[in-house]
Amino acid sequence: MSSLFLVGGVAQGPLQDAIDTRFPSLFDRVVVLDDINQLLLYLYRERVGAKYIASASDSNTIKPWSFETGIALIVHRPDGTYKDLNPILQRFFPCLNAIALTESQLRDDDSTLSILSRLQQLALICRDRIARMSHWMYDDGPFSGLYLMIRHLRCVQQFNQQVNVIPRAIRSIDFASLLGVTPEMESRLWDSLDTWSFQPHSLQTKELVYCGFLLLRQCARDAKSTVQENKLLLLIFTLESSYHQVNRFHNFRHAVDVMQAAWQLAKRLLTDPLQVLLVTLAALGHDVGHPGANNQLLCKYNSPVALHYKQRSVLENLHTDIFTSLLSEHWPQLIGKTSQGRQHMELISEAIMATDMAFHGNYVRQLQESNQAARDPRSLLSLILKAADISNVTRPLTISAQWAALITLEFDDCALLDRYQAKGGKHNSSTSGSRRNSYAEGRNSPELEHGIDYSDDFYTASPEQLTENFPAIPAGQIFFIDTFAEQFFAEFCKTFPQVGFLVENVKSNREFWVSRS
């Protein structure tokens, strides 16, 4: 799903002739826009599934356009404000595969053909799930528009060293209007958030964004931490664009789910509203930039990010660095350069680091050996986020089974990626992205938004139906519960009996998986 954007009066003819003659299958669509302001608004609308409004009477919505399964070429006429769009794209839309060129860069036929040839190669990578993941994780080439983990990290580090002003075109966007919020929608989402039976699989991207906003706005009010609503929405929009929508499991949907779980636990276990805000906020950013793989694969094949972090808690360090950089820019009142701001950042960082499963045993022992966790805010915030991160097995069975299907698919992707890298990153039919569009294909699930077809068929499927279509679920869930979850939640609920329902749900879900194994 590749796009050609012509912005600011760029002539379509010469470029289109080259595309039609040499690269007829490169772009799925051509979008003509008046100016950069219109382009940025268009990108935000499509990311959350809000149709670009040409007239006041047109308010329909569409599914988000998948910018990650294709490449976007933006050709524009530079003006005094926006001479180079690429830093803006990398800063506010880091996971979009997009490159911006000025019209003058494509005036020469040879350079145009060279650029289009390279884009066609990248588009082929984008359309293959495993090749795309490999590129994200292991490539370290020059900027081409296609996402790289190491470039994402370098960009946020570079932004940290500069005084950055949010562009006027972005500041002027009314982000709430992009979500189409109504009183009925807000009431419905609050009802959903205020229960342990939170069902994120039935929500559209714009609803997930607004769920994050509702929780953070409420937590900020309770903590008396002021933040302008449009700035808070920009933070959440930027976060959503920093997660890969096409990931099976580790995507923004998972982030919102963990956020809701952390908030549910925090309001039961914490008395300080500021601590509730910090752990809820940390949960939303705890997997930002996740490639849908794991630390083992990053280290095994010496990814640039793994080398940067000396192969220690690679993903968790990446998530922490990207997220705290975003907070420093978008919420400096909370995470600033004061001693209190640094303390807040440390609490958020430590909570995110606690999600590294390599430290799982340490947290179980901490719960077993002392009551310090109940008294020490640092320990308690880390334990809450850790519990929320693995809380899928504590959800009601129907919801837990849906997460189980998705993590099963992601584990399959990891196995395919391992084989792909072992063969030197060479394509073969077993790693093809040409998968049929039905969740019922089980292990051969489709290459769609958020890694799976979020149709009514998926989120209304019963655990029995999902197990039939994903036969590996029972064994995987039993292994995870027996190895990690049951003991952790038993100790967690012993220390905090007010959340005893967690371990009861784990036991009940395990009984079902045993019956289906």
What local confidence, expressed as pLDDT, does residue 74 receive? 97
What local confidence, expressed as pLDDT, does residue 426 receive? 65
Q: Are 293 and 129 in contact (CB under 8 A)?
A: no
What local confidence, expressed as pLDDT, does residue 98 receive? 96
344 is catalytic: no
Please report where in the chains the tokens 């995470």 appear, as a residue: 335
pLDDT digits (tens, 9 = 90+) for 122-138: 999 999 999 999 999 99
What local confidence, expressed as pLDDT, does residue 460 receive? 85
166 φ, ψ (degrees, to nearest 5): -70, 125
pLDDT digits (tens, 9 = 90+) for 419-432: 999 999 865 544 44
Please report where in the chains the tokens 């706005």 appear, as a residue: 217
Q: Are 59 and 53 in contact (CB under 8 A)?
A: yes
Binding residues for Zn(2+): 254, 286-287, 389
Distance of CA 258 to the CA centre of its chain: 12
Binding residues: 254, 286-287, 389
Please list the residue range(s) of the chain that carry CATH number 1.10.1300.10. Answer: 168-393
Task: Give residue 514's identity as a one-letter amino acid code.
Answer: V
Please list the residue range(s) of the chain that carry CATH number 3.40.50. Answer: 3-127
Transcribe 24-89 into DSSP letters: TTS-SEEEEESSHHHHHHHHHHHHHTBPP-SSTT---B-PPP-GGGS-EEEEE---SS-S--HHHH
Q: How much of the chain, in percent, has pLDDT values that exceed 90?
A: 78
What local confidence, expressed as pLDDT, does residue 64 receive? 58
Q: Which of 503, 323, 239, 517 lies closest to 404, judged by CA?
A: 517
- 3-127: CATH class: alpha beta
Q: Are 164 and 329 in contact (CB under 8 A)?
A: yes
pTM of the model: 0.93
Residues of the chain with pLDDT under 50: 51-62, 429-451
What local confidence, expressed as pLDDT, does residue 407 receive? 96
What local confidence, expressed as pLDDT, does residue 455 receive? 53
The token pair at 203 is 């929500």
CATH classification code of 168-393: 1.10.1300.10
Catalytically annotated residue among 250, 290, 360, 450: 250
